[in-house]
Amino acid sequence: MDGLSASELDDLLRRFLAEDVGPGDVTTDSIVPEDAVAAAEIVAKSECVVSGLPISRRVFELLDPDLEWEDRIATGATAPPATTLARLSGRARAILTGERVALNLLQRMCGIATATRRYVDAVSGTGCRILDTRKTAPGLRTFDRAAVRDGGGTNHRAGLYDMVLVKDNHRAIAGGVRPALEKARRLAPAGMTVEVEVESEEDLREAVAGGADAILIDNQPPSTVARWVGIARSAARSPAIEASGNMRLETVRDYALAGVDSISVGALSHSVRAADISLEIRIVDAPPHPAPLPAGGARERRG
């Protein structure tokens, strides 16, 4: 999953469970018989784009390897309210103990996929891609990026290691766009994409003349973006062009129509509105409970 091996994913999920469960689920272990078996449904209470069911399933499987699971809807599909996303059955204690971690991840991923789909739909027909950003909660980037893909979006760089992105602070330290580009070309790994964030027409012209692979136009109105796109496209070697900066659903299509190749939207992951999803459980097999003791504590003996 996005660079994580199966064992690395399990290690991560075990850490999430350890944070929640600690030395034990005292409520469940006190109330639910150890050998009780339960069936459950995971239900979307709000409309959402589905993402994260395999992750949710794996959380439960780490607690009960014999868990039975059935997906009821495909990843990337839109689930209306009251849709059953999955059915599961297994040890009741495991289902109750894993519920919160499984749902937290599922709700977040469905929320990101749903928001992404809205942005993708908003620019439909323009050829413009919707990108994510590095504005993710630490430890959750792998899940957030998968959810963006499930919503129809495209992943930007995974981290600081797989692409050069020269931003305002880099330009300031280097002494401008051209010296920053020269240093990046000289010292970054060969063949790595070099993108430059620009905030003025002068920056833009320097980046294009310096041979940047991509230009990031940040915090400019659509009219300025359209004009700058025209300048960049007139170069002999036209770079890819990305727009960013406080993108909203109401305005994102205007930026797409300005001619950019992609639009990065930090709100997809830094301001997640979790989908409303619940787990509904019922016991299907449990050992009989002993009869309660009468008042006074000792059982009465009948002669």
Residues involved in catalysis: 100, 135, 167, 197, 218
- Name the maximum alpha-carbon separation found in the chain: 105
* CA separation for the pair 151, 78 (Å, rounded): 9
Query: Residue 224 pairs with which residues in a beta bridge?
Result: none
Distance separating alpha carbons of residues 171 and 165, to the nearest angstrom: 11
- Amino acid code (one letter) for 126: T
Q: Is 170 helix (H, G, I), strand (E, B) or coil?
A: helix
Close Cβ partners of 98 (under 8 Å, ≥ 6 residues apart): 17, 59, 60, 62, 63
Q: What is the distance between the alpha carbons of residues 198 and 276, in angstroms, rounded to a whole number?
A: 39
Residue 107 DSSP SS3: helix
> How far apart (Å, rounded) are the C-alpha atoms in residues 197 and 218?
7
Judge whether 195 and 204 are in contact, CB under 8 Å: no
Cross-strand bridge partners of residue 90: 38
Tokens, residue 60: 């439960």
Phi, psi of 55 (to 5 degrees): -70, -45
Phi, psi dihedrals of residue 91, rounded to the nearest 5°: -65, 125
DSSP percent split of the chain into helix, strand, coil, nearest 5: 40, 20, 40
* CB-based contact 217:260 (threshold 8 Å): yes
